[in-house]
Amino acid sequence: MNFDFQHCIRCTICVENCPVFRVNPDFPGPKQSGPDSQRFRCDGETSVDQWIGLCSQCKRCEVACPYGVNPAEIILREQLNYGKKHFRAPVSRLFSNVYYLGNLTSLLAPLANKLVSVKFVRRIMAFFGISEYLNFPPYRFHAMERSWPWKGSSKRARKVAFFYGCYLNYNRPDIGRKIRDLFASMGFRVILPRQVCCGLPALGNGDLATARRLANRNAAILAQYIDRGYDVLYACTSCGLMLTRDYPGMLDIEAGKKIAENTYNIHEYILKLLDEGLLDLNFKAVAAKIAYHIPCHLRALGIGYPAARLLERIPGLDIAVLDDMCCGLAGTYGFKKKNQETSFKLGVIAAQALKETAADCIMADCGACRLQLSQLSGMPARDPAEILFESLNNVVNSSKR
């Protein structure tokens, strides 16, 4: 049992930083649904938990808490308990297995992309609890998992295993390949290890068994590469949070601690090598004004904003950092019809702030953030790695495979 709720002094700082509480009056906030309610749960009393699923698990409450209480984790544990006692909706079961859905949809990409754009199909999806306002990202047949599994000479001293995650795998493999090729061009031996979903969608949809099964499969592979001298890299901040926090923590994976200690954000890793004098990069100018939206899970990782620090070295870039708003999508949370009003309201607030910067484009480390904010603002959205790739294109020749 997690007793850190006893450190809560009820200062309500977490509530002030909760995006869902800001727009949804049905959610009492992380203090009441987390530490306050946990006191009753531990005493065996029945607590009012119907609103427990309204939390989006953005983790902003944990970042804000001055006393080290983890309201989001307390809420997540109760979300899992609550799911055991009540029938989970079909939409939650669907999103728990989003990796397998993505695998199938990628194989049928042209047909699947066409179908989800048909109004009649969208109505059927809405009947089963899927949000109507957001367009689904197109799937690609040539997924990352069907790319060359390595790049760079086996004799190279620096070795990295790239955990690309579901979004780069099935929706934007072009970005994933640019990241692979970028590291290969910098002198790395890059491996694309066999992998499945990190497990976050399953965990967020109340399916602990599926989350742990997926995590164990990844951990077994990644631990082997770490033992062979590889560092693990990730681009998706949500995948990174899962690998470094939930594998050794919530899921209690046997190799979780080893993975957490040897896993890095791609931009954090490049900065580390630059600061240690182990890497020398010649940045070319990129003329652009960028509105950089900070994903909530990047804040939760506690590594600062490494992409912003790295891109500051590129001549010609004008970057405005916006770190006080949640995009509202929160992975599969915003794709559920029951959450679409909350997700939409938060997205509109964040999108408006981005538009006010008069930037050329949005930048965000998270694919879900880019999807939501691009659609609601009408602005193009880019991954930080795309801009880094553009600046270093004099040394990079991206492969389609």
**pLDDT for residue 1:** 39
**pLDDT for residue 398:** 52
Mean pLDDT calculated for residue range 206-232: 96
**pLDDT for residue 87:** 47
Dihedrals phi, psi of 376, to nearest 5 degrees? -85, -20
pLDDT digits (tens, 9 = 90+) for 105-159: 999 999 999 998 898 998 999 998 999 888 889 999 999 999 888 888 777 678 9
Domains of the chain: 4-85 (1.10.1060.10), 288-391 (3.40.50.1860)
**pLDDT for residue 51:** 82
Predicted confidence band at 361 (pLDDT cuts at 50, 70, 90)? very high
pLDDT digits (tens, 9 = 90+) for 242-263: 999 999 999 999 999 999 999 9
Average pLDDT, the chain: 91
Q: Which of 45-54, 63-72, 290-299, 383-392 has the weakest average pLDDT?
A: 45-54
Structure-token pair, residue 113: 């992309």
Mean pLDDT calculated for residue range 206-211: 93
Q: Which amino acid is at 11?
A: C
User: In this predicted model, which residue has the larger pLDDT, 34 or 301?
Assistant: 301
Query: Is residue 101 pLDDT above 80, yes or no?
Result: yes
Task: Yes or no: say if 144 and 169 are a contact pair by the CB < 8 Å rule.
Answer: yes
Q: Which of 39-43, 114-118, 173-177, 323-327 has the weakest average pLDDT?
A: 39-43
**pLDDT for residue 43:** 61
**pLDDT for residue 157:** 74
